Structure 1
Amino acid sequence: MQTSPIFEMQSNRLRFRRLRADDFSLVAPILQDAQTMYAWEHGFSHDEVIDWIADMLRRYHEDGFGYFAVLDRQTGALAALAGPLTEQLDDGQTALGLGCIVRRDLWQQGYGTECVQATLRYAFERLNAAQVVALIRPNNTASLLLAKKCGLQPIGQTVKHYHGSDMPHLILAIERPNA
């Protein structure tokens, strides 16, 4: 007997649920697409997809949140991977961040905006965050425009170490709106 998934949050067109260990075939088409993953500078290998899912499961356990599988409310198809993340900054501090990876054939259709806005609501209302950040590569113009459209403003820079490379990132932030 299969149980219905529990959705962490919902938006106009989307439902967000936690990833499961058996979600490889669901998320691999996004994570293995080099064009979608250009900010990471490569599409993920089979093992990297497995490790990414395991990292999200670890984040759920340790932080209580991480990327969610973002499903189209009408079709049930995966539209994106998005959600709140704990981010490490250069100074050793952690910040509540957000991440969003939209399926490439859905780019320019408002899904990124819907994911980011839902994640911000979740962060402010459910996680009681005072501030949310996004760490974005300087050449990722689409994500920079999306972040700014959703109210995040540049506040600094940081460097992430990934696959033996130093990758500069801009830090954009938004404060909790006044109630």
Structure 2
Amino acid sequence: MTEIRTPRLLLRRWHDDDLAPMADINADPRVMQWVDGGPVHDLDHTAEAIELWEEEWDDEGFGLFAVELLASGELAGFTGLSVPEFLPEAGSEVAISWRLGAQFWGQGYASEAAQATLEFALQDRGLDRVISIDRVGNTASANVIRKLGMVPERETVHPVSGHPLRIHAIDLTEYEA
């Protein structure tokens, strides 16, 4: 079983009891305003998503980690790696992403989890390059991306919502520098 411990977090595979807290996160309009054009997701959609995330782990050897707070055992959200199939121009590149409940914002959890995930991607999984995609205007995600050392490469638009997106990247040589 793949797990990563950081000073405050446990990044791990998904458990059955993660469904309800992740569904609560996905049902919060403040969280979802930056995701897929903004609609909230219900329990069934969240269950389907977790199932797909677990399948990606089985198929690709990477996926989205459940992010658990070590101090309390609470599910804070997710961070991890995936192929962004929603954006055909990204091809088969691997993207790092995250989504945390609003009550966990502003405490450095996203940066801590994303940094551990980036290290996992480049050192453990042997990827040469990782991208991240954020919606233009999402300054919180832009700050996490900057802290990861990723640089903007290009702008595009979400193929469904039409929202402007920015693609950032880092490769192994930049990460090691």
Structure 1 residue runs of 4+, over 4 Å off? none
CA distance in 2, matches of 1:21, 1:62: 20
Check whether the contact 2:20–2:43 (CA below 8 A) recurs between aligned residues.
no
Deviation at 1:22, TM superposition (A): 5.3
Shift of residue 157, structure 1, vs aligned partner: 2.5
1:132 aligned counterpart, secondary structure: strand
| 1:98 maps to which of 96, 99, 112 | 96
Greater per-residue strand proportion: 1
| 1:19–1:57 CA contact under 8 A, matched in 2 | yes
TM-score (norm 1): 0.86
Residue pair 1:80, 1:102 contacting (<8 A) in 2 also: yes
1:153 aligns to 2:151 (yes or no): yes
Q: 1:64 to 1:11 in 2, by over 3 A?
A: same
| 1-structure distance, mates of 2:104, 2:17 | 24
Give 1:27 shift.
1.2
Say which of 105, 127, 135 aligns to 1:129. 127
Residue 168 of structure 1, aligned match among 159, 164, 168: 164
The separation in 2 between residues aligned to 1:21 and 1:157, in whole angstroms, is 37
SS for the counterpart of 1:44 is coil
Equivalent residue, structure 1, for 2:44: 47
Aligned partner of 1:19: which letter? W
Is residue 60 from structure 1 mapped to residue 57 from structure 2 by the alignment? yes
Between the aligned partners of 2:46 and 2:83, the Cα distance in structure 1 is: 19
**Letter of the 2:170 counterpart:** I
Matches of 1:107 and 1:7 in 2, distance apart? Answer: 25
1:9 aligns with 2:7: no
Q: Which residue is 2:81 aligned to? A: 84
Matched-pair identity in %? 30
Structure 2 SS opposite 1:36: helix
* Cα distance change, pair 110–49 in 1 and its aligned pair in 2 (3 A): same
Alignment partners' CA distance in 2, 1:66 and 1:159? 24
Aligned mates of 1:178, 1:114 — CA distance in 2: 18
Structure 1 unmatched runs, 5+: 1-5
CA distance in 2, matches of 1:122, 1:103: 23
5+ long unaligned stretches in structure 2: none
How many residue pairs get aligned? The number is 172
More helix by share: 2
Structure 2 counterpart of 1:3: none
TM-score after normalising by structure 2: 0.87
Q: State the shift of 1:21 in Å.
A: 5.0
Give the CA deviation at 1:23: 2.9
Change (3 A) 1:92 1:131: closer
Structure 2 residue identity aligned to 1:137: R
CA RMSD of aligned residues (A): 1.9
Kindly provide the CA deviation profile for residues 118-161 of structure 1, in whole angstroms up to 9, marking residues without a partner as x. Answer: 11111111111111110111121210122112211100134443
